Each structure stands twice: as C-alpha cells, then as structure tokens.
Amino acid sequence: MQQTTVFDLDLIQRYDKAGPRYTSYPTAVQFHEGFASKEYIEYAKNSNVDNAPLSLYFHIPFCDTVCFYCACNKVATKNHQLAVEYLQRLLKEIELQAALFDKQRPVTQLHWGGGTPTFLNLDEMWQLMDTTRQHFNLLDDDTGEYSIEIDPREADANTIKLLRELGFNRMSLGVQDFDPKVQKAVNRIQTEAETFAVLEAARKEGFRSISIDLIYGLPHQTQDSFKTTLDKVLQVEPERLSIFNYAHLPTLFKPQRRINETDLPTPAQKLDVLQMTINYLLDAGYVYIGMDHFAKPDDELAVAQRNGTLYRNFQGYATHADCDLVAMGSTSISKVGASYSQNVKTLEEYYARIDNNELAVFRGIALNEDDVLRREVITQLICHFGLSIPNIEKQFNIDFKQYFAQEWTELDKLQQDGLITYDDQMIEILPAGRLLVRNICMVFDIYLRQAKEQRFSKVI
C-alpha cells in the first residue's frame, strides 16, 4: 500500500468533531455490568478451543507526581509502600487468570502500562515478571513484542538493564514537550539529558524499538517552540513517535483544572502546530501509521501496515492481530474471544475482589454478529486505510451494499469531499482523509448513530 498523508486544513476544520478513538468496537461506552466475572470466565475457558496466542497487559497505576494534562487512570503518590500492597494483589490475580487459560498458549505480546510502571522498584519488577513466567508461557527467544511505558525521570541505566534481562525489547518514553515554560505549566519538569540517557541505555541493552510520546495543544505551545522539541527528538532518531492531541476536559479530569485555560493555544494555533508536525515528520522520512502514530519505514508497525497485518487495541497499534488480550490490574480492559471486559476502577474495590479470591471484572460486553462484522470493517479502515468489499462479503456471508445500505449512501459525501474513493470492490481512504480516519469509521458505528449524547474528544 502507498503510505502517504496530506494535511487539508479546510477538510480538517469541517470534519473536526467529537468521536471515538476505536481502541475497541463496541467502545467502552457500551460496556455494562450485566457482563461480569461469570461471563468473562466462560469466554476465557472457551477461548482455549481456538488456542490463539495471548497478549498480557499489566496496569501499574502509580505516579510519583501528577502531570496536569493527564487523563489516565492513576494514583499520584510518593508513598512507595502502596506498590507493595498493589503488587501483592496483582500477583494473586495472575494466578486467578492463568487458571483459565491453557498453559501452552504462547504470550506473543506483553505490555506494562500506567501510571508509571517503573514506580515499582527493581525487586518488585523482577517479582512481577517471574510470577508471570511461572503461570504463563512467555517466549524466551526475544521474538515476542514485550513493551513498557517509561517515565525517564523514574528510570536509569540499572532499570533499563534489568528490564532487558526480564525480556522487554520495546519501550515508549514519555516526553510531551521539552520547552521549560510548557513543562512548568503542566507540572512535568524533565530534562533532555535524563530523557536521552534512558534512550541511549535502552539502545545499548538491545531494545529493538523505542517510541517517544509528545503532546500538542499544551499551554504556551507555539509552532516554533514545538518545532524545537521535534528537532531535539529527531536527533536521536526514535523508531516511532506518538503525537497526541491534548483534550482539555477539566470537568472529567481533575488535574486539568490546574491548567490556566488562557495559556492554551487556540484551535487554529493547534492546527498550525499539527500541520507543521506532520509535514516535518514526513519530510524526515517517517510514515504516518494513523491516529497520532508515526514510524520509520522499516519499523515493524510500518511493515505490518504494508503487509495488511496491523492491528489496533487498547495500547494503540500492534503487529499481532490474532491474540486474546488478558488485562490485569485495576481499570484494565481485556479482549477475550468475542468479548470485552473491564476490571474495577478503585484500589479498594480491586483489593477486596482479589482478597476474596475473585476476578476483578465488573463490566463488559459480549459481541453479537453485527458487532463482530462492524469491528472488522472499522479495524480494516483504521489500520489499513481501506478494505476489500468482496473479502468482507465472503468472511461474513453478506451483501455489503445491502447490509450497509444507509452507510453506503453516507460514503458518497465522504467521496465528494475527497476523503475516500469507493466502488463495489473496495473502500480506499485517500491521503487527505487519513487524518480523519475516525470520521470515516464513525459511519459504520451503529451505537454512535443511536447515541443521544457524545462522550468523546475531538478527532483532531
């Protein structure tokens, strides 16, 4: 496939509305408490029939300090004793979850997220991975995609050395912005020296792919200031970059109330920063993977997109589409068989469930046939910027135009505006439509069509 992207300001301004990020379909808005531990256990045991590989996710919710922009499920604390109490339950949850799955199923993906996973000390990190290895079939030949989110302020060369020994081979480094004025406004003071020291340590230890996370739309950001950050980042040539849009939603996320709204760039200024960033990264040789993600052409994400094997899950884009995702820790979301399920959100609830030898699942959804079909359509569009209509018809035994009669009509407007081209054989997202892939996916979202209110951030 041709991996090119065009920034069309007029189109972006016309289509910039709220919409899902489609880390799942149906989205978490549709999860309900009628699907809980009992239902999850049934899906988990039945998944052993297909014997698909496993993907494991561990949520470590703690952070040493709170970043004001943050919308993650986290606990800001300097009390590291909390990690001891949490880890005790997480190790028990590993046992409870592992009992449901065939021990022979290989773990081809593993991810530690948060929060700040390196809030755990070295002994605790070793203990977590050792217990995981005792109960799940981890790969010891470095062929798995084992990744971790790193706050460079909470890691050093010894940390990186241990993580590599534990089996991690990929990491994402949180940076957001190097401008001191921006950092002060969002309460994340982080030097270039400590950031790049961690990156160089990771390369020395043999990490295969390093991603750097940046955010546009933060207070005091300008085109020039963000370009300076990009210049510094590109000097170290990360394999991947994630450029996230800051969504200011202080009514939902309390830390954001400490950001002075008058310091935020205007919508027009944000678009200027985004346009500069996209053009700058494309000129530097990176490929736009989609949904804020860029990668070098030879990185596994870019290769997977060209090969048609790219996938999207709750951690973003991934190269393993055939896994059942088993998520552990508070708030974490699993995808097992044709189901999604989420753990309880507070530490108190999580501890109570695990201490009672119960799984922590409190809500989820069992997908019906229509959900599975629409999920496949949306996944194809968001990962590959197109889909083969005959392939979908064959896979699901449908007449595409008849089944999606209303959607087919709505596609015409997208074609007239230059976002897509489509016919009886295919839907192809054009270079000018790639930044608006969420809008295109929304056409096939039946829940969004029925929704009385929007509960999502803007697409750009």
Confidence of residue 210 (pLDDT cuts 50, 70, 90): very high
Nearest 10 degrees: Cα torsion 136, 140, 144, 150: 90
Q: Which of the pair, 6 or 84, is modelled with greater confidence? A: 84
φ, ψ (nearest 5 deg) of residue 426 = -160, 160
351-367 residue pLDDT tens: 999 999 999 999 999 99
248-281 residue pLDDT tens: 989 888 999 999 999 999 988 998 999 999 999 9
385-419 residue pLDDT tens: 999 999 999 999 999 999 999 999 999 999 999 99
pLDDT at 267: 87
Helix (H) or strand (E) holding 372: helix 369-384
pLDDT at 2: 54
Whether pLDDT at 19 is above 80: yes
Three-class DSSP category at 397 = coil
Confidence of residue 16 (pLDDT cuts 50, 70, 90): confident
Compute the average pLDDT of residues 152-156.
94
φ, ψ (nearest 5 deg) of residue 270 = -60, -45
The rounded distance, in Å, linking the Cα atoms of 417 and 411 is 10
pLDDT at 359: 98
Of the chain, the percentage scoring pLDDT greater than 90 comes to: 80
Q: Please state whether the peptide bond connecting residue 115 to the residue before it is cis, i.e. omega within 30 degrees of 0.
A: yes
Confidence of residue 60 (pLDDT cuts 50, 70, 90): very high
Compute the average pLDDT of residues 23-40.
95
The rounded distance, in Å, linking the Cα atoms of 399 and 446 is 18
Q: Do 69 and 14 contact (CB within 8 A), yes or no?
A: no
What DSSP string describes 262-308?
GGSPPHHHHHHHHHHHHHHHHHTT-EEEETTEEE-TTSHHHHHHHHT
Of the chain, the percentage scoring pLDDT greater than 70 comes to: 97
299-358 residue pLDDT tens: 999 999 888 889 888 878 888 778 999 999 999 999 999 999 999 999 999 999 999 999
299-308 residue pLDDT tens: 999 999 888 8
Confidence of residue 4 (pLDDT cuts 50, 70, 90): confident
Whether pLDDT at 25 is above 70: yes
The rounded distance, in Å, linking the Cα atoms of 131 and 136 is 9
Pairing label, strands 316-318, 311-313:
antiparallel
Side-chain half-sphere of 196: how many Cα atoms within 13 Å? Answer: 11
Whether pLDDT at 64 is above 60: yes
C-alpha to C-alpha distances, 186 to 67, 176, 215, nearest whole angstrom: 6, 10, 11
The rounded distance, in Å, linking the Cα atoms of 303 and 3 is 11
282-296 residue pLDDT tens: 999 999 998 889 999
For the whole model, what pTM was predicted? 0.94
Whether pLDDT at 44 is above 60: yes
Mean pLDDT of the chain: 93
pLDDT at 459: 64
Confidence of residue 457 (pLDDT cuts 50, 70, 90): low
Three-class DSSP category at 350 = helix
218-229 residue pLDDT tens: 999 999 999 999
Q: What residues pair up with 341 in beta bridges, in sequence order?
A: 334, 364
pLDDT at 74: 83
Q: Do 304 and 32 contact (CB within 8 A), yes or no?
A: no
Whether pLDDT at 184 is above 70: yes
The residue written with tokens 């045991």 in the block is 45
The rounded distance, in Å, linking the Cα atoms of 173 and 163 is 14
Largest CA-CA distance found in the chain, in angstroms, rounded: 60
Q: Do 429 and 290 contact (CB within 8 A), yes or no?
A: no
Confidence of residue 21 (pLDDT cuts 50, 70, 90): confident
Which of 274, 186, 206, 199 is closest to 240 using CA atoms?
199
Whether pLDDT at 460 is above 70: no
Helices (H), 308-388: 347-355, 369-384
pLDDT at 128: 98
Q: Do 305 and 384 contact (CB within 8 A), yes or no?
A: yes
C-alpha to C-alpha distances, 142 to 145, 165, 208, nearest whole angstrom: 8, 10, 10
Kindly calculate the radius of gyration of the chain based on its CA atoms and give it in whole angstroms: 22
To 10 degrees, what angle do helices 122-135 and 81-98 make?
10
Whether pLDDT at 1 is above 60: no
Q: Cα 5 to chain center, whole Å? A: 21
The residue written with tokens 């995808």 in the block is 335
Three-class DSSP category at 20 = coil
107-145 residue pLDDT tens: 999 999 988 999 999 999 999 999 999 999 999 999 999
pLDDT at 454: 59
Q: Which of the pair, 161 or 247, is modelled with greater confidence? A: 161
